[in-house]
Amino acid sequence: MGYERLRDEELESLLRKVFRDNPLLRSQAALSRALASELDGRNARASGSRLRRMAMEKGLARLEIIYRQTERRMDGDCPVCSAPMEEMVNSTLEGGEAVIGRRCRGCEFRVGLERREPGRYVFHARKG
CB contact at 8 A, 119 and 67: yes
The confidence score (pLDDT) of residue 103 equals: 93
CB contact at 8 A, 80 and 70: no
The confidence score (pLDDT) of residue 114 equals: 82
Question: What is the reported pTM?
Answer: 0.84
**Closest of 45, 28, 2, 40 to residue 120, by C-alpha:** 28
Per run of 10 residues, the mean pLDDT along the chain (length 128 residues) is 85 96 96 93 89 94 93 85 92 93 89 88 90
Q: How many domains does the chain have?
A: 1
Which residue range(s) make up the domain with 52?
A: 4-125
The confidence score (pLDDT) of residue 37 equals: 93
The confidence score (pLDDT) of residue 41 equals: 80
**Closest of 87, 90, 128 to residue 111, by C-alpha:** 87
